[in-house]
Amino acid sequence: MVAKKQTTLYNIKKLFEVFMPSDLMTLRPLALELNDVLSGGKVDKVNMPETDEVRLQIRVGGENLVLTASANPTSPRLHLTKTKKENPMVPPAFCMHLRKYLISSTVTSVEPLKDRVVKITFSGRNELKDVTCYHLYVEIMNRYSNLVFTDENDVVTSALKTVGIEDSVRPVMSGLKYTPPVQQKVNPDDFEAVKSLILSFSGDSLSGFLTKRLNGVAKITVEEILKRADFSGEVNDRIAEEIALWAQKFWNAYGTELFCPSKTEVPAPDFFFTPYDGFDCSPCKTLNEAADLAFSYADKCARTKQKTKKLVDAATRFKDKCLQKIELSDKKLSECEKADEYKVKGDLILANVWKVKKGDEILSTENWFDPSSPLVEIKLDGRLTPGANANKYFQKYQKLKRAKSVTETQKAEAEELLDYANGILEALGRAEPDKSLSDVEQELQNVGAIKLPKNQKKAKKEPPSKPYVYEFEGVKIMAGKNNLQNEALTFKTASPSDVWLHVKAEHGSHVIVFSSAPSESVLTFAAEIAAALSSASMSDKVEVDFTKRKNVKKIPGKLPGRVIYASQTTLVVKPDKHQTFLV
């Protein structure tokens, strides 16, 4: 029996949203902290692990620190990081430009500007070996985020994202003077301006009003300021002064008692320069450490979402291609059904040779192969003899018979690949921010759904990523996340006497119970996991087959994860991922 799976709809899993106040009030103390830590440090390395992320390795006080600056639209950031990423074999042009001027340079200062822009100044040498300074502007403004590199006169020499003169009122191009973003908003540290702004309010939501009119301040920060100012809903001189004072305190928090780097873990890692009301905050040694925790998580989720979408698009295109092949095969097979007609026509020509005269283009005769013996007309080539005309029909007959055999094989292959593509889409529907996506990418490359660029070498083959691992009643249970994991888990990790489970007639994970005689409760537990990690996970009752691993056989020459199995028993269970039992 084949572990058959049927086509299902899929959804890209929504990843956690992070609530971190990525605004000027948070960026300012973060940058000031970076200034204290990095000033005087020497740049040893410059890398770009992502197309929108620069990493500088800076040696400070005998320690190597890594500063990451990202212009990713969903997770722009600037902070020290302890995470590691692989670098591309060929560095981007922007990376090479930064290496040219920043390697061996010294960090002079890290300065937060009025908007969500941080100016990093380096002291280095130019082409003439003269000492000069360079600036890297990190603009953290969501989809408008950018990294801009300038000389000592603030003339742009390179940028991660260039903006033409015709495309914007603020062009960013090599050779142009750098101009920071212009915001027609009130700066939070301007006490009188903030007070006047508050007194001009006459609407229903002061937090929304200030969020739109204060420069670079997120709504969550505005709400925190209003809470600390004990704003109850009535605007007057006293409350306006109190709010303006707290805005000023937040602006100048770094180096005061108010500055208390904090982090949260639930529902997702967040960071704050001071504990915000309503969040379960715990103190952190530095704001950069807290930021690294939160941003690394956010970046991982964002890039997982991006990569998942890319893989889903590739798998969907491959699926559509398989459907087209099946449709073409059906048309060819329909034509092949006419093969017997050509054989009959050839036989009738030979049986009526005596009736055919030279130059005849039609043979009218009874079809003796049909019980009703209808009169048929057979087209002839007047230039050919009766025997040659008959051979022409026999050749068409043989050609279509051969084509039928080949087309049936091609259709079967296309149907199997279609089923395989549906299985990949189902796995992507429950993708997680881990290495398992690379396994799926490798699967798609193996079947030609994703092609490597001509100038890119094929990556060194790596072992599959780790599957889910559970422990229940002292028994170890494992479940694959994709076809490569399923293959390795079933035929390399499991022993012949272990129990193998799979959802019946659906796409899903291979589940292994590492026991030769598991209890009924363990089998039910494992079956619930198998049901949850399948295309039938939304059903209340799901059939799951289980058998000894020795009864599961890989189909020779077939795609990974494709098996046949026998001597199975079927359980009916309710899907449950049992995440609390994950090891």
For residue 264, give both structure tokens: 């949260």
- pLDDT at position 373 is 80
Whether residue 71 is found in the same domain as residue 162: yes
Residue 509 lies in a domain: yes
pLDDT digits (tens, 9 = 90+) for 205-246: 999 999 999 998 999 999 999 999 999 989 999 999 999 999
Does this model's pTM top 0.75? My answer is no
Residue 18, pLDDT > 80, answer no
Query: Both 33 and 180 in a single domain?
Result: yes
- What pLDDT does residue 456 have? 56
pLDDT of 267 > 90? The answer is: no
- State whether 114 and 210 are in the same domain: no
What mean pLDDT is predicted for residues 291-299?
A: 88
Q: Are residues 265 and 365 in the same domain?
A: no
Quick one: average pLDDT of 109-119?
93
Residue-number span of the structural domain to which 44 is assigned: 24-184
Question: Which pLDDT does position 30 carry in this prediction?
Answer: 96
Domain boundary residue among 235, 250, 282? 282
pLDDT band of 6, cuts 50, 70, 90: very low
Number of domains in the chain: 4
Tell which residue, 53, 474, 8, 22, has the closest CA to residue 287. Answer: 22
Q: 193-197, 294-298, 472-476, 502-506: lowest mean pLDDT where?
A: 294-298
pLDDT at 92 over 80: yes
Same domain, 146 and 79: yes
Both 30 and 170 in a single domain? Answer: yes
Quick one: pLDDT at residue 168?
Answer: 75
Flag whether 480 is in a domain: yes
Note whether residue 19 is domain-resident. Answer: no
Mark out the alpha helices in 17-156 (DSSP H runs).
24-38, 93-102
What are the backbone dihedrals phi and psi of residue 232, each rounded to the nearest 5 degrees, phi first? -110, 0
In the three-class reduction of DSSP (H, G, I as helix; E, B as strand; rest coil), residue 206 is classed as helix
29 and 178 assigned to the same domain: yes
pLDDT at 462: 57
pLDDT tens per residue across span 22-50: 689 999 999 999 999 999 999 999 999 99
Residue 159 CA to residue 173 CA, distance in Å, equals 7
pLDDT band at 302 (very low <50, low <70, confident <90, very high): confident
Domain boundary pick from 248, 282, 316: 282
pLDDT of residue 460: 53
At 404-429, the pLDDT tens digits run 989 999 999 999 999 999 999 988 88
| pLDDT above 60: residue 461 | no
Q: Does one domain contain both 160 and 217?
A: no
Is residue 323 over pLDDT 70?
A: yes
- Are 176 and 91 within one domain? yes
In a domain, 474, yes or no: yes
Residues of the chain with pLDDT > 70, as a percent, come to 93
Q: Is the pLDDT of residue 12 over 80?
A: no
Distance CA 287, CA 269 (A): 13
In angstroms, the Cα distances linking 509 to 275, 414, 488 are 43, 22, 12
199 inside domain: yes
- Is the residue at 388 inside a domain? yes
Mean pLDDT of the chain: 90
Structure tokens that stand for 421 in this block? 């593509």
pLDDT of residue 241: 97
pLDDT higher than threshold 80 for residue 252: yes
In a domain, 10, yes or no: no
Q: Are residues 394 and 494 in the same domain?
A: no
Tell whether 205 and 178 lie within a shared domain. no
6-37 burial code (b ≥16 CB/10 A, e <16): ebbebeeeebeebbbbbbbbbbbbbbbbbbeb
Q: Is residue 456 part of a domain?
A: no
Query: For 152-267, where are the E strands, in sequence order?
Result: 156-159, 262-264
d(CA 133, CA 67) in angstroms, rounded, equals 19
Pick the more confident residue, 396 or 34: 34
Read off the pLDDT band of 201 (50, 70, 90): very high
State the pLDDT at residue 75.
Answer: 84
Last residue of a domain, one of 356, 387, 420: 420
Residues 157 and 34 in one domain: yes
Task: Give the per-residue pLDDT at 1.
Answer: 38
Q: Is the pLDDT of residue 253 over 60?
A: yes
pLDDT computed for residue 463 by the predictor: 60
121-173 confidence digits (pLDDT tens): 999 998 888 999 999 999 998 889 999 999 999 999 999 999 988 777 789 99
Query: Would you state the pLDDT for residue 291?
Result: 93
